[in-house]
């Protein structure tokens, strides 16, 4: 894994920028350090590749994981929201379709909140 020590690439900086209280961000960062996920690149890699199960093994509360997933999705440029439903003639069944990262991590409405 590529690791970086730059201030903009620190997992701790990202946790703080998400609005977590400093004590809670420090506690979450300690868990990340245990897993060797000090840099943002490492953390994003763990999220984007569900096959290695590092994201699932993180002992984070669901709300912190949801914040991080939303952050990563925003960084990818993925957005979703509510919109007006088009006429029935213009719709198609999307059952079975989903969106995921190249590594297989589901994103948006298809993701699981761990």
Q: Span 25-29, mean pLDDT?
A: 91
Name the phi and psi angles at 112, rounded to 5: -95, 140
Instruction: Provide the pLDDT for residue 23.
Output: 92
Q: Which residue has the tokens 């093994």?
A: 57
Q: pTM for the complete prediction?
A: 0.66
Local confidence band at 4 (pLDDT 50, 70, 90 cut-offs): very low
Q: Give domain limits for the chain.
A: 7-97+104-110
- Angstrom distance (rounded) from CA 6 to CA 112: 31
Q: What is the CB neighbour count within 10 angstroms for residue 15?
A: 24
Amino acid 8: pLDDT: 52
Q: What angle is formed at CA 28 by the lines to CA 112 and CA 4, rounded to 5 degrees?
A: 95
- Note the pLDDT tens digit of each residue in 34-92: 888 889 899 989 988 888 888 888 888 888 988 998 898 888 887 767 778 888 888 77
């Amino acid at each position: 894994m590529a690791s970086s020590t730059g201030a903009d690439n620190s997992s701790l900086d990202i946790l703080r920028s998400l609005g977590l209280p400093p004590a809670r961000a420090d506690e979450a960062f300690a868990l990340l350090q245990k897993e060797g996920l000090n840099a943002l690149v490492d953390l994003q890699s763990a999220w984007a590749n569900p096959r290695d199960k590092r994201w699932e093994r993180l002992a984070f509360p669901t709300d912190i994981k949801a914040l991080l997933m939303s952050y990563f999705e925003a960084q990818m440029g993925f957005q979703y929201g509510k919109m007006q439903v088009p006429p029935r003639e213009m719709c198609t069944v999307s059952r079975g379709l989903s969106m995921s990262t190249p590594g297989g991590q589901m994103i948006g409405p298809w993701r699981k909140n761990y």
